[in-house]
Structure 1
Amino acid sequence: MANRLLDLYRKLQRWPGGDRLFSRAVCFKAPYFASIAPRIVRLEPGRCEATIRHRRRVSNHLGTVHAIALCNLAELVAGVMTDASLPASMRWIPRGMTVEYLKKATGPMHAVATPDVPLVESAEGYDLPVGVVVRDRSGDTVFRARIAMWVSPRPARAA
């Protein structure tokens, strides 16, 4: 069965500005992510990439990208990757996140999320660790996260 999120992404990529439209649609569905104004630049099963610009609303008092903006970016790419990679019979929710701040985050940020284990259809729930790496303009890793996703079967709908 096709994945609706991935199908929408692929459909919008045929149009100029499709990645911006898709990113806005994701933020409409999950409004909190609009606070970092992300741009999803690549989405395929097992991988999601997004960028954010360094501007005042994501900055801290030191003039660097705020730690929580980096956490929001990590949760966004991990969630979109998971959603786009699962069969329609499965659902997910984040259960926890560990993070490492490795370097001052200045300038545009580029995040990549990939699963640590294959995503599978299952009759039972399972833990899915997702790794996220955020790099700055020069390609240096400024932030790493491990997000624990709980993946489980969707409940059957009543007739």
Structure 2
Amino acid sequence: MTAPPLLRTYQKFTKWPCGHWLFSKAVCAKAPYFSSIKPAISELMPGKCVASVKNRRAVHNHIGTIHAIAQCNLAELVAGVMTDATVPHKTHRWIPKGMTVEYLNKVDTDMQATAKIPMPHQWLDKEDLVVPVEIVNMRGELVFRAAVTMYITARKK
């Protein structure tokens, strides 16, 4: 089975100097909403995606910490990129269906999100895949948790 196109692109880009940066920019060009947080995707493989966001004024709320929607945006990004790099693209497709979140602490440093599902996975038709996402601060403290539901369907033949 061939790797999904997004995963192949990641594998190709990250062989180059600045490849992770270039891949992150390409993802944001495809889905422009994510560019507002300037994510840096550092790891991508079937079943796992890791990305970070710098603590900068553009993502601050009124109390000087990273705002809730920036955290949700990062969670949706890693869940979506991981899903796209994992779901067999020739037989299945996916779309985000919902997200539940827990804000566990203020985010006053850079943050790093990880989306990870157990692999291997048996892909079904009309499946709700719940992707757990955790965000930690640079002290390694868990500050945010999400469950992003992806609706997986078999492609029409």
Same fold (TM over 0.5): yes
TM alignment of 1:113-132, pairs within 5 A: 113-115=115-117, 119-122=121-124, 124-132=125-133
Deviates more, 1:3-12 or 1:70-79: 3-12
Which residue is equivalent to 2:34? 33
Quote the offset at 1:66 in angstroms: 0.4
TM-score, reference length from structure 2 = 0.94
Quote the offset at 1:10 in angstroms: 0.6
Which residue is equivalent to 1:152? 153
Identify which of 68, 82, 102 aligns with 1:100. 102
TM-score, reference length from structure 1 = 0.93
Retained in 1: the 8 A contact 2:13–2:22? Answer: yes
CA RMSD of aligned residues (A): 1.3
Identity of aligned residues (%): 52
Q: Which runs of 4+ in 1 moved over 2 A?
A: 115-122
1:48 alignment partner, SS class: strand
1:24 alignment partner, SS class: helix
- Structure 1: stretches of 5+ with no match in the other structure: none
- Structure 2: stretches of 5+ with no match in the other structure: none
CA distance in structure 2 between the aligned counterparts of 1:119 and 1:32, rounded to whole angstroms? 29
Q: How many residues align?
A: 155
Which residue is equivalent to 2:73? 72
State the Cα deviation string for residues 63-97 of structure 1 (Å, max 9, x = none).
00000000000000000000000111211111111
CA distance in structure 1 between the aligned counterparts of 2:53 and 2:31, rounded to whole angstroms? 16
Quote the offset at 1:118 in angstroms: 5.2
Aligned-partner residue type, residue 35 of structure 1? S
Retained in 1: the 8 A contact 2:47–2:118? Answer: no
